[in-house]
Chains A and B, each alone.
Chain A
Amino acid sequence: MSIAATQKQGFGAVIWDYLTTVDHKKIAHLYTFGGGFFFILGGIEALIIRIQLIKPENDFVSAGFYNEVITMHGTTMIFLAAMPLLLGLMNAAVPLQIGARDVAFPFLNSLGFWLFMFGGILLNCSWFLGGAPDAGWTSYAPLSTTSPGHGVDFYVMGLQIAGAGTLIGGINFLVTIINMRAPGMTYMRMPLFTWATFVTSILILFAFPALTIGLFLLMFDRMFDSAFFDVTLGGNTIIWQHLFWIFGHPEVYILILPVFGLFSDIFSTFSKKRLFGYTAMVFATMLIAFLGFMVWAHHMFTVGLGPVANTIFSIATMAIAVPTGIKIFNWLATMWGGSITINSAMLWSLGFIPSFTVGGMTGVMVATVAADYQYHDTYFVIAHFHYVIVGGTVFGIFAGFHYWWPKMFGRILNETMGKIAFWTFFIGFHLTFFIQHFLGLMGMPRRYWVFLEDQNLDLGNFISTIGAFFMAIGVIVFFINAIYSQVKGEKAPADPWDGRTLEWSIPSPPPYYNFKQLPLTRGLDPLWVEKTEGNGKMTPAEPLGEIHMPNNSFIPFVMSLGLFIAGFGFIYQTDNNAWFIALFGGMAIALGAMIVRSVKDDLGYHISKEELEREADE
C-alpha cells in the first residue's frame, strides 16, 4: 500500500482495505461498527425483556425464550457492545494521545478485532441453530452444564474466541503505552484516558485468563464429559462461581475505568482548565483496579462462604468508594472556576455525574453484606449495575463518540440531534432503572419471566418499560445523527474543541501515518502548553524523515475464521463425529495462518521523505 491507496477507491477496495487493515484508526472504525451493531442487538433484547414485563403474568414470549433473551442481553452488552466500543475509542485516541504512529503490534490489533467479531457472530448464530444460551450471562453451573441443546456451547465457544481477542488487545495497549510514547511524553504527562487505558489493559491481562479457564472447564464438562461441576463425581459448582467472578468483577472496572479517563479529558477540555488533582486521579485509577481484584466474592455473599469471608470482602468493597469519591470530587473541582461549554459531549458527561453517583451509592449499599442478603439477585441489583454500566459506561461511550467523532470520521456530530438523543435517553434511563431499586426490595427477584399478579409490582414495572422505550428513541436518534453527519455533517477542523492533548494537533481525520514528525511534549496537556506559550502547534521532536509502516494483512481474518469454523466443530462433535472435520479443519486453518505469519518475513515498508514533502504541498 502506498499513498495512492488513500485516494478515492471503489467499494470493493474499501471492503478489502478494512478486511486487511492494521491501521489503528481503521480498526477503531471496525470496533465502532461491530460494537454498534451488537449494541443495537442487545438493545432489542432489552426491549423484549421490558415488553414481557409490562404487565403481570404476561405471555409476550415463552419462559424458555425469555431466559435466552436475558442471557444474550447481558452477554452481548458486556462482551460484544460495551467492551468493543471502548476498544474502538482506545484505538482511535490512545496512539494519537501519546504521539505514536501506530500501536506496538498492528497485526495483533487486527487479529484482536477479528477474533472479537467472529466470536460475537458465533455466539449469535445460536439464535438460528436451535436456541441461544439460557443459563444467564453468568452461566452458573450446574444449570449451564445441564442446559439442553447447544445454546450454552455457543456461549462457551463464542466467548472463548472473543475473549482471546480482548486479551490480545490488552497486551497491545500495554506495550504501546510503555514503548511508543513520543519524546517528552512521560508517564505523568499522559492524558487520563491513556492512563485509564493502561490500567484497564492490566485488568484485562490478569482477569481474562480466569474466564478462559472457567470456560474451558465448562466446555470440558459439556462436550467431553469431564466432572468439574458434576456433584455426583465429586465436582464442585462453586468453582465456576469463583472463576467467573475473579474475572467478572475486574470486568466491571474494565468497563468503567476507560470512561473515567475520557470524562477527565472532556471535563478538562470543556472547562478550559487542567484536570484538578491529576496525580490523585492517576493513583485513584490504580487503586480502584487493585481493589477490583480483591472483591470478587461480594457477588457470592449468599453462597454460604461464612461470615469471615463475607465481611472481609464486604469491607474491601466499601473501600473502593474512597478512590471513586476522590474522582467525583476532582471532576467537580476541575469544573469549579472554569469556563464551561455545554455541548453534547459535555451533556453526556454532566449527566454521568448524578447517575453514576447513584450507582456508586447503591454500590456501597449492596456491598454491605447482611443488607445484601435482601438485595442480592433482585431488581435492586439490576438497578444498581445499570446505573453504573449505563449511567457510567454507556454515557461515557456516547460522550466519547461526540468528543472524538471529528477525529475519527472527520465530521462533527449534529448538536441538536445530540441534545435530543441525550435528553430522551437520560430521562428514559432514570425512568427505567430508578424504580427498579424499589421493585427489588418489594420482592421481585431478577431473571423473572413473569411477575405474579397482586404483588404491588405492576406500576413500577410499567413505568420501567415506558422508560426503556425512551432510551430506545435516544439511541435511534444518535444513530441517525451518526449517519446524517457522515453525509451532510460539518467538516471537522483539526482542533474543533480548543483541545489540550496531542490528538488535536493533527488533521481530522489524521493521515495514515498520524504524525509527520513526532511531537515534542513539554508538559501535561502538551497542546495547551504550546497554545499558552503562543506557538499554537507542536514543536517537532525529529527532523522530517522516512516513516516505517506495517503492511496490511489478511491473515488475522483467516486465523479468526479458522477458529470460528473450529468452534462449530467443537459444538457439534457431540452429535456427530463428522464434525471433527470442522474442528480439525478449522484448527488447521488457524494454525496454518499462524505458521504463514511466522515463516513469511513481514518487515513493513517505508514512506520516503520526498513523498511526505509532496503530501505537505498538496
Chain B
Amino acid sequence: MMSNDHILNPETMPQSPEKATLEGKNKFLGLWFFLGGETVLFASLFGTYLSLKNSTAGGPTSEELFGLELVFIMTIMLLTSSLTSVYAMYHMKNNDFKKMQLWLGITGLLGIGFLAMEIYEFAHYITEYGFTFRSSAFGSAFYTLVGFHGGHVTFGILWLITLMIRNAKRGLNLYNAPKFNTFSLYWHFIDVVWVFVFTVVYLMGKVG
C-alpha cells in the first residue's frame, strides 16, 4: 500500500498549496457553492427584515434604538480581520507557517472583539429599551438577521480555533492547506454580509 506521504510531507510546496490536490480543488469549489447558498439564505433574511422593519407594534423604532458609533467600530474590526486573513493566506502561499498562524490569530481576536461588542449591543437594547426578540415583528426580524450573522461569526471563530490548534505542531501540508483556505474564504463572506447588515440595518435604519 502506498502511503499518503506526498500529501502530508511534500518535498516541495507548490505555489498554491490549497489547490494542489483534487481534494483541495473540490473543497475550494464546494465552498464557493456553499457561499452561493448562503447568499440566498441572507437574502431571505434581509427581505424579511426589510418588510418588517417598520412593524414596531408601538415599541422603539430603529431611529430611536441605533447608534452608529459602536457599530462603526464593529465594522472596522471585521473589515480589518478580513485584511489580516488575506495576510495569513499570503504567508501560506509562501509556506511560512508561523506567520500564517500569527495573522490567523489576529483575525480570530478581531472576530472575538466584534462578537463581544455585538453581545454588548444586544444587552444594551434589551436592558435600556426593553427591545427584545419577542417585543415586535421588527424585534424578531432584527435579532434574527443580525443574530444569524453573529452565529456565522461564532462558527467561524470555532472553526479557526480548531484549525489552529490541530495544526499547530504539524505545519503546513497539502492536506491542511485547503482547510485554511476555505476558512479564509468563509471569513471574507461573513465580512461582506456585515457590510450589507451595516448598510441596510443600521445606516438605513438611522437615516431612512
Contact = CB atoms under 8 A, between A and B. Distances in A.
B36 A205 contact: yes
Given A174-B29, A228-B137, 6 more contacts: A205-B40, A216-B144, A225-B133, A227-B135, A227-B137, A228-B48
Contacts of B26: 104-105, 175, 179-180
20 contacts: A104-B26, A171-B30, A175-B26, A175-B29, A175-B33, A180-B22, A205-B33, A205-B40, A210-B44, A213-B44, A220-B133, A220-B140, A224-B133, A225-B133, A227-B137, A234-B138, A235-B55, A236-B51, A246-B44, A603-B7
A568 B116 CA distance: 31
Given A239-B52, A243-B48, A598-B166, A179 B25 contact: yes
Prevailing SS type, chain B contact patch: helix
Contacts of A233: 55, 57, 135-137
Q: Bin the interface of chain B by size.
A: 35 or more
Contacts of B40: 205-207, 209-210
B56 A234 contact: yes
Most interface-central of B40, B52, B144 (chain A CB within 10 A): B40
A181 B30 CA distance: 16
Contacts of B2: 546, 606, 608
Interface string A221-263: 1001111101011111001001100100000000000000000
A608 B44 CA distance: 49
A239 B41 CA distance: 14
Nearest to A611: B1
B44 A232 contact: no
B17 interface: no
B144 A234 contact: no
A225 B139 CA distance: 11
A226 B40 CA distance: 22
Interface residues of A, number: 48
B166 A228 contact: no
Interface centre among A174, A175, A243 (most CB of B within 10 A): A175
Contacts of B199: none
Contact of A175 (B8, B30, B37, B163): B30
Interface string B34-70: 1011101100110110011011110000000000000
Interface in A104-124: 104-105
B127 interface: no
B15 interface: no
Contacts of A212: 41, 44
A246 B46 CA distance: 14
Contacts of A214: 44
Interface string A522-538: 00000000000000000
Interface of A: 104-105, 167, 171-172, 174-175, 178-180, 205-210, 212-214, 216-217, 220-221, 224-228, 230, 232-236, 239, 242-243, 246, 546, 595, 598-599, 601, 603-606, 608
Nearest to A545: B2
A178 B22 CA distance: 12
Contacts of B124: none
Contacts of A230: 137
B9 interface: no
A225 B162 CA distance: 34
A105 B1 CA distance: 23
B41 A227 contact: no
B137 A234 contact: yes
A598 B159 CA distance: 9
Contacts of A598: 159, 162-163, 166, 179
Contacts of B144: 216-217, 220, 226, 228
B37 A213 contact: no
Given A213-B44, A605-B1, A171 B34 contact: yes
B98 interface: no
A228 B141 contact: yes
Interface in B83-105: none
Contacts of A209: 37-38, 40-41, 44
